Amino acid sequence: MEIIEVFGYVGALFIGLILGLIGGGGSILTVPILVYALSLSPIIGTAYSLFVVGTTSAVGAIRNIMKGMVDIKTAIIFSIPAFIAVYVTRAFLIPAIPENLFQIGDFMITKNLSIMLFFAIIMLLASISMIRNKAKDSHKNSEIKYNYPLITIEGLVVGIITGIVGAGGGFLIIPALVLFANLPMKKAVATSLLIIAIKSLIGFLGDVQNLDIDWAFLLPFTLVSILGIFIGIWLNKFINDKKLKKIFGWFVLVMGIYIIVKELFDI
């Protein structure tokens, strides 16, 4: 195994570690690790990311269900438009995008470049959400109510974004669950993992019909990430997760800027 592959698997462990420590956010690193550390194309990288994110989130979701923290009904209501959007995006939209989109002078805007730049923008938005981290549990004793039109729109938007960049989109899902379903914050965080698991794995099914999946690589990589979750859950007993989330947010911000600079200037 080459050094770069070892680094990739260490990255897989780190993805799960962050997920176990702060309950989300680790998935935002999956695509950069797959694309830059393991030299996969953005199309393959985002596809594999959906499987890794979906599987690791499912492990976290099962743990939350056992603790009674997941609102199953809300997860199903939100997941339906999200998984329809992510499946259509992966199965039909992504393959339909031409390899070369347009040219600015001598600079060609390609499909792969556009995906990575869009992913970097999502990283910047996610980092701001983690750095600010000012969400309050203002619905602690409120009755759960559903704003179906807004849930549907949000689900479709999150599904499309997930389909394009291969990340979970928890920073979009959690506020939506609080605002549009009136869920308490802790329950929204726990429920978001189940939604992420469902839509990511269904989105991956859209790739199975278009891509040759290297299961010999993908399954061990995912298992290492799952191992990281359990290590993170154990470490969570000793670490302040709010401070860690803010530090990780700054790391994601730097990574997002790095991707933009690297893709635009080919450094």
pLDDT by residue, tens only, the chain of 267 residues: 566 677 788 888 988 888 777 666 667 888 888 988 888 999 999 999 989 988 988 888 888 899 888 889 889 988 899 889 989 999 898 889 899 988 888 888 899 899 899 889 988 888 887 788 665 555 555 566 777 888 888 889 888 988 887 776 777 787 788 888 888 877 887 888 888 888 889 989 989 988 899 999 999 999 999 998 888 878 877 877 677 778 888 888 998 999 999 888 875
Cα–Cα dist 118/203, whole Å: 18
Q: Which two tokens stand for residue 113?
A: 């470049």
Task: Give the count of domains, the chain.
Answer: 1
DSSP symbol at 237: T
Angle between helices 42-66 and 185-208 (to 10 degrees): 140
- What integer pLDDT is reported at residue 191 of this predicted model? 87
Whole-model pTM: value is 0.83
pLDDT at 1: 56
Domain range spanning residue 172? Answer: 3-265
* CA–CA gap between residue 158 and residue 172 (Å, rounded): 7
Spatial separation of the C-alpha atoms in residues 21 and 249, rounded to whole Å = 13
Hey, what amino acid is at 91? A
SS3 state at 107: strand
CB atoms within 10 A of CB 207: 23
- For 235, counting Cβ atoms within 10 Å of its Cβ (0-12 exposed, 13-18 middle, 19+ buried), the class is middle
| Per-residue pLDDT at 155 | 86
**What CA–CA distance (Å, rounded) separates 65 from 44?**
31
